A = this chain, B = another copy of it.
C-alpha cells in the first residue's frame, strides 16, 4: 500500500470526468487520469477496477440502498409506498453537490454506445434487485417484477428531470412525482 492520499477517490473521479468530457472516454487512459489527479496509476487501481468503474462504480451502492430501504420498510406499507420510500432514500446519493457530476457523467455516457449498453445493463441489475427485495417482503410474482419496473421507470424519469439544467426540485420530490404519474398512467392503459 502507498501513502494515504486525502480524497483520492473523489480526485480521481473528477479528473476522469474532466478528461472524458474534454477528449472523449475512449481516448482517455488511466495514466492520464492519475496524472491529472496528481496521483499514481497504482492509487487509481486501489480505488477502481478499470476506467469504466469511475462511471459505474456507484451503482452497486445505489442498488444496495434501494434494496435495503425496501427490506426495512414498515410491514403495513403497500408495494408502491415501499418503492416510493426506496426512491426517496436515494436523495442521499443524488444531493445538490452531486448534480454537476451526474450531468457531466450522463453527457459522457450518452455519446458512447458501449457505455449506453453498460448503463442499460446496470439499470437491469437495479430493477432485478428491487424485484427480489419486494419478493422477500412476500409480494408474489408477477406483482414484484411489475413493481420493480414501476421503480425503474420512476427512477429514470426522476433522474432525467433532476439533471435537467432548468430543474430546481430535489431528487426525492421528483421521484415522488414520477411514481404518482406512473400510477395515474397505469389506470389509462385499459
Residue in contact with A190 in the complex, picked from B78, B121, B142, B182, CB distance below 8 Å: B78
Judged by a CB distance under 8 angstroms, whether A188 is at the interface is yes
Main secondary structure of the interface of A (DSSP, over half): helix
* Oligomeric state, in copies: 2
- A188–B153 CB distance below 8 A: no
When distances are taken between beta carbons in the complex, the residues of chain B under 8 Å from A153 are 142, 145-146, 149
- B142–A189 CB distance below 8 A: no
What total of chain A residues lie within 8 Å of the partner, measured CB to CB?
29
A47 to chain B, nearest CB (A): 25
Judged by a CB distance under 8 angstroms, whether A181 is at the interface is yes
A128 to chain B, nearest CB (A): 10
Interface residues of A in 61-98 (CB under 8 A from B): 78-81
Judged by a CB distance under 8 angstroms, whether A150 is at the interface is yes
Q: How far is the CA of A186 from the CA of B152 in the complex (A)?
A: 15
Q: How far is the CA of A31 from the CA of B182 in the complex (A)?
A: 50
Q: Given A78-B190, A190-B78: A185 and B120 within 8 A (CB)?
A: no
Q: How far is the CA of A142 from the CA of B185 in the complex (A)?
A: 6
Q: How far is the CA of A182 from the CA of B181 in the complex (A)?
A: 19
> A residues engaging B (CB < 8 A)?
78-81, 117, 120-121, 124, 140-143, 145-147, 149-150, 152-153, 157, 178, 181-183, 185-186, 188-190
